[in-house]
Structure 1
C-alpha cells in the first residue's frame, strides 16, 4: 500500500497559520488582562468602590440610624473592606436584636437585616403599659390602652424577676399562654417568687415562678376536671388543689385535686 507523501512546501503555510492563531490568542488574552487591570484601578480609585448606600431591614422597635451607628459603616467605608462578622457582632450587642446579617449588593449597596426579639408581655407602669421582649428587656415606649394580645405583668420591680418570668412563659404551650390575662407578683416570706394569675376563662392561679412552666402546662387538664359553673383559685405552689370562690356545701366539693403526675 502506497503512503501519501506531503511536501514541505505544502506544510509550511499550515504551520504559519497555526502559529499566527496561537499568537493572536495570546495577544487577546494579554490585552483582556491589561484592560481588566485598568478597569479595576479605575474602579478602586472611583467613588464606586466606597459604600454608596446603607439600608436597614427587619427593624420594628430599634431605630435604623442606631443600627447603622452600631455597624460603624459609613459612605466613606470601602465596600470590599467591610468585615461582615465584626459588623454582625457589633449589631447583635444591642439588647433588642436577636440576630443580624449583612448583605453586599453590587456595585456598592449594603443592607443590614436584623431580627428583633419579639414582644411577649406588657409591664404596668403608672397607668400605662410597656412592652416586654422575650429576653426580658422592657422597652421605653408606653401605651395607655390595656393590651389584649399578651399577658400584663403587675407589681414587678426587679429586672431579674421579669427575665425569669419571661423565661418560664416561653416554655408554655401557646393555648395556655394565650389564656393568661394578668400576672401579679405577690411575694411573701416563704416564697419571694410567688405569683397570682388572672385567666381569661375566669379562674385564678397561685404559683411560684421557680416551678411555673411545669405546673402551668397541666392547667388545661386540671380545668377539664372542674365543674364549668364552679370558679375559684387553682393552687400550684406546693401541691395542686382547687379553692372555690363559693362556700363548700358537700363533701365532694371539699376534695382537693391531686397532681396528675402523682
Structure 2
C-alpha cells in the first residue's frame, strides 16, 4: 500500500493574516486612546487657562473696588476746589453757592447729580441752559456751565440785560463794554409781551437785513408799528404784518435815500432825511 503524500503547513504563515489583523486592531486602538488622551489633556489645559482668567478678572475687580472704596472714604475724595467754566458774565462765587457744592462733599457724588445741578442753576439764572460736573485733578471739581444763546440786549437804565433765545431776560445787568455789539439793542420795551413778539418777528427776517440792524425801538405810535435803527444811520419804519415782505427792498432804497434817512415801509415805500430831533431820539449822531 502506497503512502499518502504529506503536505507541510507553516503555522505562522497560516496564522499571519489573523495575527496581522489583531496587531492592526491593537495599533488602531492605541492610536485612538492616544487621541482621546491628547484631547482630554487639551481640554484640561483650556479649562485651567479659563479658570486662571476668571480668577484674574475677579482679583482685578476686587482690587479696584477696594482701592476705589478706600479713595472714596478718604479725605482725598473731598472737594478741595471748584472751577467754574463757561459763566463769563455771572458771579462765580454766587454760582457755586447756588449749586450748594461744599468742601466737605465728595467729588464723585456730583458726577451722578448732573440733572439736579442743572435744575438748581437754571432756576436761579435764566442764562444757564445746563451744567455738568467733571473731575479735574484728584479732588478738583470742574463745573461746566452752558449758557443760552443771546439774541440781543434789553436796555435797562444805563446798563443792558441779555435777551435769551427762549425770550427770557438775563438776570444780570451788564455794562456797555460787556455787550456784544454785533447783536441788536432793544430800547423802550416795557412790556415783555411786545418784546417777545418783536423778537420773534426780528428772527424771522432775512439774515442780511438782521445783520444791519443796530437797534429796535419800542417807542412806537401804534402797536402795529416796528422801528429799526440801522448801523448805517438810517431808520426803517414798518408794519409788523408786512415788514417781512418789504425789507428785501431796503438795500435798493438806501442807495437812493442816502445816509441818515427815514425809510418808511408802512404804507408803500418812501424816504426823507431825518430831522435833528429824530436823530437825537434814535441816538444817531
Same fold (TM over 0.5): yes
2:230 corresponds to 1:199 = yes
1:167-206 matches, within 5 Å, as 167-188=200-221, 191-192=222-223, 194-206=225-237
Distance 1:219 1:100, change over 3 A: same
2:7 aligns with none
Unaligned runs of 5+ in 1: 247-262
C-alpha offsets along residues 72-127 of structure 1, whole Å, 9 cap, x if unaligned? 2223223333311211222222211233333345744432222223444444455x
Tell me, in whole angstroms, the C-alpha distance in 2 between the residues paired with 1:40 and 1:206.
67
1:166 aligns with 199
Instruction: Please state how far the C-alpha of 1:143 moved relative to its aligned partner.
Output: 3.3
Tell me, in whole angstroms, the C-alpha distance in 2 between the residues paired with 1:56 and 1:233.
47
TM-score normalised over the length of structure 2: 0.62
2:144 corresponds to 1:116 = no
Which moves more between the two structures, 73-82 or 53-62?
73-82
Q: Which has the higher helix share?
A: 2
Aligned length: 234
Instruction: Please state how far the C-alpha of 1:61 moved relative to its aligned partner.
Output: 0.9
2:190 corresponds to 1:157 = yes
Unaligned runs of 5+ in 2: 1-23, 275-285
Tell me, in whole angstroms, the C-alpha distance in 1 between the residues paired with 2:129 and 2:73.
37
TM-score normalised over the length of structure 1: 0.66
2:117 to 87, 106, 112: 87
2:263 to 234, 237, 247: 234
Contact 2:204 2:244 in 1 (8 A): no
2:169 to 127, 130, 137: 137
Distance 1:46 1:218, change over 3 A: same
Q: RMSD of aligned C-alpha atoms?
A: 4.2
